[in-house]
Amino acid sequence: MNKLKELIQNSKEVIKNFPFVLLSSFVATISLIAFNELDSIPHQDFCIRLAYVALLGNSLFFGLTVYGARYGKPLLSNSLGVLILVYYFYFLIPAGPPSDWTSLHSINFFVSAILFHLFSAFAPFIGKHDSATFWQYNKNLFLRLLRTKIFSGVLVFGIMLSIFSIDQLFLTELDKRFYMYPSIVLSVIGSSFIFLLFSRKGLPQLLEKTSYPNFLKFFSQYILIPLLLIYVIILDIYGIKILLLQELPKGFVSLPIMAYCVIGILAILLTYPLQNKEKKNWISYFSKWFYILALPLLALLFTGIITRILDYGFTENRYFILVLGLWMTFISFYYIFLRNASIRMIPMSLFLVGLISLAAPYYNVFSTTNRSQFNQLNELLKNNDLLLENNTIAFDRPVKNDVVNRINETFHFLKNRSEKSKLEKYFNNQEKADKIFKEQNYLRNEFTNVINNSNHVSTKYTYCDIYSPTKVLNISEWEYIFPDILRSHEDEKEMIIERDTFLYTRKHDCKLVQQIKLKEAGEEEWLSLNISELLDNLKDTLNATYGNLNKKKTHHEELFIQGSLGSYTIKVVFFRLK
């Protein structure tokens, strides 16, 4: 009974000190449940938008609450949070589930979530220069977050296991909502409430000075930092190899370099109190040398990413890799040359960089990326003489296969970023433009004089899509049928009829030739199915019926190849040839 009273009292403190955080979690929970219950699409869209905005509000309101507690303006700071979330709801979060989001919406959401978490890390220390208290505050946040994940994870797992046990033991055939809704409640408002219970007294409790956790010391000293040393040795060896061979680094190298920088900074932050001890230890040496060792790796990163930007232009990923590389370079020089460097600089500067990447006019990630890709598209079209005098695309001019692929990829990159109005100028036919915007590869298929520039003999080819309208096959004259004999991702399939074994394969040097091998009475026979011959036989008939076969989506009553193999007559029917 005393424990229940204590829980009620603690809950009251949570509600008193963090009302907006709890309200945000509650709204997110109810909205996610309502989204699954409602049938009306407009209502579903409203609920899912509200849910994602409320999820962003968790970390935003926490940061604003501790900021207001520090500077005595809780109501004003939380009112600002409400205005920010209203702006996100109406202008930045789209209607519909995340599967319908463009990259612009996804980046806005996830980068904003990171920014709000970063803001929570330094909000009470804006204008303050107490690094020791700053570290205590973030250590307490980190440990409370860690405990929350463990507690809520075990709780969700336990409840799901209980429901599953009831379902299986009593054969109740529970609806999926019995699993979904408890997991939503426990994962959203449940985890928020658990986290806030650990901080129920507000900012003073988060600023309390406690002893350095032994498990954190062990983890940092004997696991995290040694792994980082191994990591930097591998990357340095790769850098030496690049210099000796005088070749450009692989694009993948940016990922391990950024991982080294992020994990290294985390290790330095976790071991901050240990670095300031009078007795010199290897942790203090690591904290000094980490930034020096990062500089050659950053040079390697810049070489790789700038080369790809010059060749292919900016994408969102390349933009953020370049920006994070510049930020890491600034942080490295800051700690190398400034003796009294403050650890507050890390989250505050990263927050500023993220804010600029989203909101800065002209130089934000979206403007920079779209502008760069438009330049790439124009250069591709001009350099390959594919623009007419009115700046529309000449689809009948000869062009190499790899150029067409790049044009198609760049075009759809921009189309998926809501640049339709700017792309329409490349077409002199609105109907054609509408089809190209609708179908993913329609632009690729519009080019009628594509030259294959692979390692094989260069050939010109055109595109056609022939399908059979037949939905029901008459098999009265046949004894056996094998549906889906060979799917696009398969190279061979074995079939057995009584004592005879058939092996259906693609010919390795030409996928337009497929073969059937029959093992009959200890002997082997082959039947070749040449799809090219089938297409050639159909071409004259279809051209006479439909005009120019190229680019056409046409139909033919039946598409098949027939031949004899041993004592069998075999007929292979195609429903579509593309």
CA distances (Å), origin 459, targets 128, 453, 465: 70, 8, 19
Q: How far apart are CA 254 and CA 492, in angstroms?
A: 39
Q: What is the pLDDT of residue 254?
A: 85
CA 372 to chain centre: 21
Does 508 score more than 60 pLDDT? no
Q: What is the pLDDT of residue 458?
A: 40
Bigger pLDDT: 291 or 281?
291
For residue 250, the 8-state DSSP code is P
Kindly report, residue by residue over 554-570, the tens digit of the pLDDT: 666 667 888 887 778 88
Q: How far apart are CA 117 and CA 193, in angstroms?
A: 17
Sign of CA dihedral 454, 455, 461, 465: negative
Q: How far apart are CA 196 and CA 403, in angstroms?
A: 56
Angle at 143 between CA 140 and CA 148, to 5 degrees: 120
Residue 153, token pair as written in the block: 């994870």
Average pLDDT over the chain, rounded to an integer = 84
3-state secondary structure of 195: helix
The residue-averaged pLDDT of 491-509 equals 73
Kindly report, residue by residue over 188-225, the tens digit of the pLDDT: 999 999 999 999 988 999 998 888 888 888 888 888 88
3-state secondary structure of 477: coil
Bigger pLDDT: 418 or 243?
243
Kindly report, residue by residue over 156-179, the tens digit of the pLDDT: 999 999 999 988 888 777 888 888
The residue-averaged pLDDT of 111-118 equals 96
The residue-averaged pLDDT of 461-488 equals 72
Does 365 score more than 80 pLDDT? yes
Kindly report, residue by residue over 51-71, the tens digit of the pLDDT: 999 999 999 999 999 999 988
The residue-averaged pLDDT of 479-493 equals 70
Q: How far apart are CA 188 and CA 286, in angstroms?
A: 39
Does 459 score more than 80 pLDDT? no
φ, ψ (nearest 5 deg) of residue 453? -110, 35
- Written as one letter, the residue type at 6 is E
Bigger pLDDT: 523 or 15?
15
Q: What is the pLDDT of residue 456?
A: 43
Q: What is the pLDDT of residue 507?
A: 59
Q: What is the pLDDT of residue 473?
A: 78
3-state secondary structure of 457: coil
pTM of the model: 0.77
Q: How far apart are CA 27 and CA 189, in angstroms?
A: 9
The residue-averaged pLDDT of 222-234 equals 87
The residue-averaged pLDDT of 508-522 equals 62
Confidence bin at 238 (pLDDT 50/70/90): confident
Does 40 score more than 90 pLDDT? no
Q: How far apart are CA 23 and CA 28, in angstroms?
A: 9
For residue 188, the 8-state DSSP code is I
Which ranges in 496-575 belong to alpha helices (H)?
A: 531-546
Q: How far apart are CA 83 and CA 417, in angstroms?
A: 27
Location of structure tokens 């070489």:
303
Q: What is the pLDDT of residue 380?
A: 92
Does 38 score more than 70 pLDDT? yes
Q: What is the pLDDT of residue 551?
A: 46
The residue-averaged pLDDT of 473-494 equals 74
Q: What is the pLDDT of residue 239?
A: 86
**CA-derived radius of gyration, the chain:** 32
Q: What is the pLDDT of residue 455?
A: 44
The residue-averaged pLDDT of 300-317 equals 92
Q: What is the pLDDT of residue 486?
A: 62
Q: What is the pLDDT of residue 218?
A: 85
Angle at 8 between CA 6 and CA 14, to 5 degrees: 105
